[in-house]
With several copies, the nearest count.
Chain A
Amino acid sequence: MKKLINDPRAVVEESVDGFGLAHADLVEVHRDPLYVARRGGAVQGKVGLVSGGGSGHEPLHAGYVGQGMLDAAVPGPVFTSPTPDQILPATRAADGGVGVVHIVKNYTGDVLNFETAAELCEAEGIEVRTVLVNDDVAVEDSLYTAGRRGVAGTVLVEKIAGAAAERGESLDAVEAVARKVVANVRSMGLALAPGTVPHVGRPSFELEEGEIEVGIGIHGEPGRRRVGLEPADALTEHLLTPVVEDLGVRGGDKVLLFVNGMGGTPLSELYIVYRRAAQLLADRGAIVERSLVGNYTTSLEMQGCSVTVLRLDDELTTWWDAPVKTAALRWGV
């Protein structure tokens, strides 16, 4: 394992430390327990927004703490959800007196830890609403699974709900818009090569030369199937087709197209995927109104990408365009 790290067990703390130093104008890093809060603390009268999950997906979530997005982020160990005793103080730090929304990616670990934390928060008199993100169409949503996973669509939920909260919308309204994004966003990813979890020291999975995993999760969990490597255009179609079919995209629909890198793939390749995805959407008569291309929800240095489509309406577009000032997403301010 070759990594720019010191002690494999100190990776998260040292990295968050560096993040706090580099973005001291935006965030405050709290230790014991570890969480990242917006500089200056909770905004009174504003609905608080908290997200979190295992580390290794940077810039998710700490990179999205700031004006117009999250009030606090809770980083767990690499690929392991954080614990209730981290989530509780993060929620306190985000509470402006009118309630907090927890944005939780749908993994058993995250769900259980946020659930426990929410109980503790309620006991303290902080009203918590939990919005589960489950955009990954690679996993069947049935009684026989833990349900769909939350992947890159999470960034869109955080951005849009964050904008609504920043503009002073009520707890009900912020929760509702977050749920609306969840209802209208779908994703699917693939991997060309695995990443390596520092404390494990070996790649998360093995792929033969010329073999890829379609439907990969952001923790290197296996996906739908292993197939041979194909040209980017064909691979893009394997990702986009289930996404738009599940979402039921029709001619005339306005969408946001988001091509996300898994961390180890060059930006130039993501644009090749974007190009084909945009063509395929155009072929279906959909109108790409907004775009996002880059490494926004990663899986360490995994090579691969995911394609996310969000069906837009005027409300979602307005919140998407609203100013945001975070380490990883910034415009209008």
Chain B
Amino acid sequence: MTALDAAWADRWLRECARVLAERREELIDLDRAIGDGDHGENMDRGFRAVVAKLDEARSDSIAAALKLAAMTLMSTVGGAAGPLYGTAFLRASVAAGDRDRLNGPAVEALLAAARDGIVARGKAEPGDKTMVDAWTPAVKAAAAPADGEAALEAAASAAEAGAQATKPLVARKGRASYLGSRSVGHLDPGAVSTSYILRAAVTAAMSEISAGGVA
């Protein structure tokens, strides 16, 4: 385990890009089933752009890295996910403040800020079959551990469970809501991508590889 510092934030975003490129097709398929099939492409495009920005100028704080991600996602992802993830990373960046390391409570504060940003923008409630259903249990799970890495691990596992739990739900927000009860039986793509993003944070925390080495 390494510290949750600026280098970790850089590795996190790069790991997001790697995982979302790998999961592009899967997320496209999930979105084809109950949406319009672009979620995988949108996320891949967005995080690819984040990496390009990181390569241009290394961010020297957690807050700076997250803000860079926020602005880049906002201007490259488009769709519903763009403003939602953009807002999430922007609020997380504000929550990170001038901290140069995150402990458990800091991780929780950061995730809570992200979740609140998504809810403020998208007005979804838990159970509406959106990414909120991954973020909400993640925030809750992050509350217990004092240790930052443990909080992230708890959050990622809760997000994964939350994403899986969207399967039986009827969508009430976003494109999938047009389907009504026909949305039942499918995972929400945004909840799944949220779980990948949080799992990427854990992977980055466990990684010894320096930021520059992962693209």
Contacts and interface: CB of A to CB of B under 8 A. Distances in A.
Question: Do A and B belong to a common assembly?
Answer: yes
Contacts of B82: 81, 83, 109, 112-113
B175 A221 contact: yes
- List 6 A-B pairs, minimum CB-CB distance, nearest first: A112-B83, A109-B79, A219-B36, A85-B75, A145-B177, A109-B80
A204 B179 CA distance: 15
B177 A113 contact: no
Nearest to B121: A112
Interface of A: 33, 54, 76-86, 107-109, 112-113, 115-116, 138-140, 143-146, 149, 197, 199-200, 204-205, 217, 219-223
B209 to A, nearest CB: 29
Given A199-B41, A221-B178, A205 B32 contact: yes
Contact of B32 (A108, A149, A204): A204
A33 B121 CA distance: 23
A149 B173 CA distance: 12
Given A84-B74, A145-B178, A222-B178, A108 B172 contact: no
Contacts of B195: none
Interface string B107-125: 0000000000000011000
Contacts of B105: none
Contacts, number: 112
Given A146-B177, A221-B178, A222-B178, A113 B37 contact: no
A80 B74 contact: no
Contacts of A217: 36, 178
7 contacts: A80-B42, A80-B79, A83-B74, A107-B80, A109-B83, A115-B83, A116-B74
Given A33-B75, A109-B78, A146-B173, A84 B83 contact: yes
B148 interface: no
| Secondary structure call for the B interface | helix
Contact of A145 (B42, B77, B172): B172
B18 interface: no
A85 B180 contact: no
A108 B36 contact: no
Given A115-B83, A146-B177, 15 more contacts: A33-B75, A77-B38, A77-B45, A79-B36, A107-B175, A108-B173, A112-B83, A113-B78, A116-B86, A140-B180, A144-B177, A145-B172, A146-B178, A200-B28, A221-B35
B76 interface: yes
Interface string B1-44: 00000000000000000000000000010001001111001100
B48 to A, nearest CB: 10
B41 A84 contact: no
B104 interface: no
Contacts of A112: 80, 82-84, 121-122
B182 interface: yes
A77 B38 CA distance: 9
Contacts of B182: 222
A54 B41 CA distance: 13
A320 B95 CA distance: 51
A107 B178 CA distance: 10
Contact of A113 (B28, B32, B83): B83
| Most B-side CB within 10 Å, residue of A146, A217, A219, A220 | A146
A146 B178 CA distance: 7
Contact of A81 (B76, B78, B170, B172): B78
B126 interface: no
Interface of B: 28, 32, 35-38, 41-42, 45, 74-84, 86, 121-122, 170, 172-175, 177-180, 182
A160 to B, nearest CB: 26
Contact of B79 (A81, A139, A144, A204): A81
A108 B41 contact: no
Contact of A83 (B32, B76, B172): B76
B175 A108 contact: yes
B36 A77 contact: no
Given A112-B121, A144-B177, A200 B83 contact: no
A54 B32 CA distance: 16
A246 to B, nearest CB: 16
Nearest to A143: B172
Given A144-B172, A144-B177, A146-B174, A204 B37 contact: yes
A113 B171 CA distance: 21
Nearest to B174: A108
Contacts of B36: 79-80, 204, 217, 219-221
Contact of A146 (B32, B74, B76, B175): B175
Most chain A beta carbons < 10 A, residue from B75, B121, B178: B178
Contacts of B180: 140, 144-145
Contact of A197 (B38, B79, B172, B179): B38
